[in-house]
Amino acid sequence: MKIFIDTASIEEIKKYLAEGLCDGVTTNPTTFVKAGILDKEKVKERILEIAKLIDPRPLSVEVTSENPEEIISQAREFTNWALNIVVKVTVIDRNGNSLLSAINQLVKEGIIINVTSVMTYNQAILTAKTLANGLQSANAKKPHFISIFAGRIAEEHGVQVAFNAIKNTRDWLDCYQINGVEILIASVRSPENVEYFSRAGGHAITIPPEALAKSLVSAKSKEGVAIFIEDARKSS
C-alpha cells in the first residue's frame, strides 16, 4: 500500500522522503492555508517546488471550480506545470450535479485524475466505471485514483461503514478486473484511522503529517529504548 503525505509543507515532505515513507503528496486549498500560502501565484510556486522535490512521485492538485468547462481548462493548465501532477476533481458539485463528464474527457486526453469527495460505494463504482471508460482512449495514462473520504464517512455513519465502502469497492474492482484505477483512502484523522482503514484493501492512503507522526509513537517503545540506553551505559 502506498503512503501519500497530505500537506503543502516542504519541511514535512522532506522529512518523510528521508524516512522512505513518501510515495506521493496530496494537496487541496486547505493544505495551502495551513502552510500559510494564500496568494495564487505563491500557490503555483509551491506546487512547482513540491512537484520537483518528489518527482517522479505523484502530486495531487485540486481544481478550484465546479464548472465543467473551467475544470477542464484548469486541469489542462495544471498538467503543463509538471509531468507528475495529478488533477483532483470532486465527483459532484455542491448542488449534487455529476462532474463525471468532465472527468471522462480529461482521462481521454491523457490527464491523470484523482476523483475526490467520494462518500459512498455507489459513487465509487460509478466513478470507477467512468475512469475505466476513459482509459480505453489511446491517449489515456494510468493509474487514476478514487479518493474515498473514510474519515468523513466515519464521522457521519461510523468506522465500519467507512471500512465497508473501501473494501466493497476494492472487491468490485477486482471482480470486474478494472485495471488502472486505484482506491486512495483519504480524510484520515488519527492513528486509529490509519490502523483500521489500511486493512480495508485500498491501494494507497493519504495521511496528514500530524497523524503520521503520532502513528510512529508508542509510550512502551520510548520506555524500552530508555531502558536499553541506560543499561548500555552501565555496561560500558
Checking 224-232 for CB contacts under 8 A at 24+ apart, the result is none
Helix (H) or strand (E) holding 166: helix 159-175
Q: Which residues are catalytic?
A: 88
Residue with cell 524500552: 224
Helix (H) or strand (E) holding 71: helix 68-81
Q: Is residue 184 within 8 Å of residue 206, measured between CB atoms?
A: yes
CA 103/CA 113 separation, integer angstroms? 7
